[in-house]
């Protein structure tokens, strides 16, 4: 194995290894990665305290167009992962809620994610695994602070 490969290629290979295993499990469930991503955003919005989530919220969170999101939500509802009902706040919108089936899938995928991570970290000491977590946390902070600067109209915008 070549150890002097560019860092971007390293991250790409790790991402592909993760996604290959996650997508295989999702395929068994009849879902695509995009559909699972929408369920993930629905879960994040719900955990952030949003009482009612509609299609526009999901479109903004995932940066998916209205027609595409309409199809995704229809499929998720047909498969029993979400329930759509008229909004109590604005009847022009449908409130979208995850079902217990979606919550069970999230727990299963979180467990699979942990298993894949542990497999990829095989051979690392507990200290190295902890360092990796701290390093990637900092890298994510850098990404999100850059996004906020650009969205806020800073010098980089």
Report if residue 122 sits inside a domain.
no
Residue 156 has pLDDT above 70, yes or no: no
- 28 part of a folded domain: yes
80 with 101: CB under 8 angstroms?
yes
CATH code for position 89: 1.10.10.10
Residue 22: pLDDT above 80? yes
The answer to whether position 22 is within a domain reads yes
Mean pLDDT, the chain, integer: 89
Q: Is residue 40 part of a domain?
A: yes
Residue 39 resides in a domain: yes
**What is the domain extent for residue 90?**
12-99
Helical residues (DSSP H) of the chain, grouped into ranges = 7-28, 33-47, 55-62, 66-78, 100-120, 126-151
Q: Is residue 107 part of a domain?
A: no
Residue 157 lies inside a defined structural domain of this protein: no
What's the average model confidence in pLDDT over 127-136?
96
Rounded to 10°, the helix 7-28/33-47 angle is: 90
Q: What are the pLDDT digits (tens) for 26-53?
A: 899 889 989 999 999 999 999 999 889 9
The model's pTM is 0.73
Asked if residue 95 lies in contact with residue 87, where contact means CB atoms within 8 angstroms, the answer is yes
Number of domains in the chain: 1
Contacts of 92-101 with CB under 8 Å at 24 or more apart are 93/54, 93/55, 93/56, 94/54, 94/55, 95/52, 95/53, 95/54, 96/42, 96/53, 96/54, 96/55, 96/58, 97/42, 97/46, 97/53, 98/39, 98/42, 98/43, 98/46
134 belongs to a structural domain: no
């Amino acid at each position: 194995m070549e150890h002097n490969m560019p860092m971007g290629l390293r991250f790409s290979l790790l991402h592909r290894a993760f996604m290959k295993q996650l997508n295989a499990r999702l395929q068994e469930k009849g879902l695509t990665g995009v559909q699972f991503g929408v369920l993930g955003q629905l879960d994040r919005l719900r955990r952030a305290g949003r009482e009612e989530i509609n299609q526009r919220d999901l479109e903004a969170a995932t940066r998916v167009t209205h027609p595409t999101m309409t199809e995704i939500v229809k499929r998720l509802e047909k498969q029993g992962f979400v329930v759509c009902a008229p909004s109590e706040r604005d009847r022009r919108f449908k409130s979208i809620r995850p079902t217990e089936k979606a919550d069970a899938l999230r727990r299963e995928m979180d467990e699979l994610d942990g298993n894949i991570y542990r497999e990829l970290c095989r051979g690392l000491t507990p200290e190295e695994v902890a360092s990796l977590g701290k390093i990637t946390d900092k890298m994510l902070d850098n990404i999100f602070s850059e996004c906020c600067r650009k969205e806020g109209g800073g010098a980089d915008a």
